[in-house]
Chains A and B, each alone.
Chain A
């Protein structure tokens, strides 16, 4: 093909060769996609603080690691605490061109790491906390977490979870931190621009990344991106950012503020085996939950 424009786009060119092939992730895993975007923004200046989660397995064991960045593997509950310590240590040594990133799953954030996270947010530590949300403890064999949505099958909720998902981004907004955002691996450019913005803000920054997991959510590995996009298109997952006390909807989510433009929730649910036991009543409850979420967004973004 001749006459093709040869622009060097930041994605994927900046991410090339940073997350290395041959990692231990399952086929179709969303985590390396998000890690690729992180490494496109921060490059080798990132110090990843990773608690026990899928990523600590994916990056591999001694003597190799599948990413060109500094990685600190820490116990489950302590991601935000260790990241705070690393950030303070860098400051006292006068190292300014490094970015401390706590990279934790939903279990390490919403359940086990919640106390350390809340503490670090309250102290407004200079770290970036990224929570990739695969909506259960996937690494240990699909156990329910507080981030699992209503109606979803896990090995510890065999008939479907009864409670709604814990909204960690809203908890962090209540802490009054400088920057909170939600993103999805279905929209890498959205995640890229949010990380670029977070990079230039000082203080505690939190990004919640929606990451569909093929073995845990029971869908075929090729549909990872399709499921992630459907979550946004049905209005179940809303992309927004909160900065300086102002909430703004992000581009991919903006059309779906109008309920008529949203795709039916059933489309998202039917693609996943974990929602096989969902009844008609439960679908109505999920729809009500979506409407309530959007009501909150509308109220906040005015």
Chain B
């Protein structure tokens, strides 16, 4: 980040700091849950690029891994996945 002059000291200026979960655990908003089939995942990174909440990380070893604490369950990852490796299932079962 760009260095700012702090005449009062770091703790006295009411500056915001980068923080995970400014709106709380947004995973609680979800009623449909994306589930990854790692065998079908081709590691194309589409879901990670498009995920609006940045909860998906794709690694060559693990495939797409979703952070369910913050996933809002929009289903965008399942829609952009070209190999059909992500499916949406109801959060509380059938």
Residues of A bordering B, CB below 8 Å: 1, 4-6, 9, 11-12, 15-16, 19-25, 27-33, 36, 44-45, 47, 59-71, 95, 98, 188, 214, 220-226
Complex alpha-carbon distance, A44 and B4, angstroms: 13
Choice from A6, A21, A65, A66 contacting B55 with Cβ under 8 Å? A21
CB distance from B39 to the nearest CB of A (A): 8
Question: A31 vs B88: C-alpha distance in the bound complex, in angstroms?
Answer: 23
Per-position binary interface string of chain B over residues 3-17, scored 1 when its CB falls under 8 Å from any chain A CB and 0 otherwise: 010000000001011
Which residue in chain B gives the minimum CB-CB distance to A186? Answer: B50
Report Cα–Cα, A33/B47, bound state, in Å. Answer: 11
Query: Which residues of B are interface residues toward A (Cβ below 8 A)?
Result: 1-2, 4, 14, 16-26, 29, 41, 43, 45, 48-55, 57-58, 60, 63, 67, 69-70, 72-76, 78-80, 88
Please tell me if the beta carbons of A224 and B22 are within 8 angstroms of each other in the complex.
no
Give the Cβ gap from A18 to chain B, nearest Cβ, in Å: 8
Given A27-B52, A64-B18, decide whether A225 and B4 contact each other with a Cβ distance below 8 A.
no
Contact yes or no, B26 A222, CB < 8 A: no
- Do A225 and B50 contact each other (CB < 8 Å), given the known contacts A44-B1, A45-B2? yes
Assess the B22–A23 pair: CB atoms within 8 A.
Answer: yes
Contact B52–A33 (Cβ < 8 Å): yes
Q: Are B49 and A68 in contact (CB under 8 A)?
A: no
Kindly list chain B residues whose C-beta atoms are within 8 Å of the C-beta of A25.
52-53
> How far does the Cβ of B24 sit from chain A's closest Cβ, in whole Å?
7
Q: Tell me how far the C-beta of A40 lies from the nearest C-beta in chain B, rounded to whole angstroms.
A: 9
Kindly list chain B residues whose C-beta atoms are within 8 Å of the C-beta of A1: 41, 43, 60, 63
Chain A residues near B48: list those with CB within 8 A: 12
How many angstroms between the C-alpha atoms of A1 and B75 in the bound complex?
A: 25
Per DSSP, chain B at the interface is loop
Among B19, B53, B69, point to the contact of A63 (Cβ < 8 A): B19
Q: Which of A64, A70, A222 contacts B76 (CB 8 A)?
A: A222
A32 to B75 alpha-carbon distance, docked (Å): 15
Cα A1 to Cα B37 with chains together (Å):
12
| Chain A residues, CB < 8 A from B88 | 222
Out of A6, A27, A65, A220, name the residue touching B19 (CB < 8 Å). A65
A226 to chain B, nearest CB (A): 6
Minimum CB–CB distance from A250 to chain B (whole Å) comes to 18
Contact A68 B1 (CB under 8 A): yes
Which residues of B lie under 8 Å from residue A224 when comparing CB positions?
52, 74, 76
- The chain A residue with its CB closest to the CB of B34 is A222
Query: What residues of B have a CB within 8 angstroms of the CB of A31 in the complex?
Result: 52
Q: List A contacts of B49 (CB < 8 A).
A: 11-12, 33, 36, 188
| CB within 8 Å for A60 and B22 given contacts A11-B49, A20-B54 | yes
Question: Shortest 10 CB-CB distances between A and B: which pairs?
Answer: A60-B22, A64-B19, A22-B21, A222-B75, A27-B74, A21-B70, A24-B23, A28-B74, A221-B74, A27-B72
Q: Are B79 and A22 neighbours in the complex by a CB distance under 8 Å?
A: no
Instruction: Give Cα A224–Cα B55 distance, bound, in whole angstroms.
Output: 17
B43 is contacted by which of A4, A69, A98, A221 (Cβ under 8 Å)? A4
Q: Quick one: given A45-B2, A222-B74, A222-B78, are A21 and B20 in contact (CB under 8 Å)?
A: yes
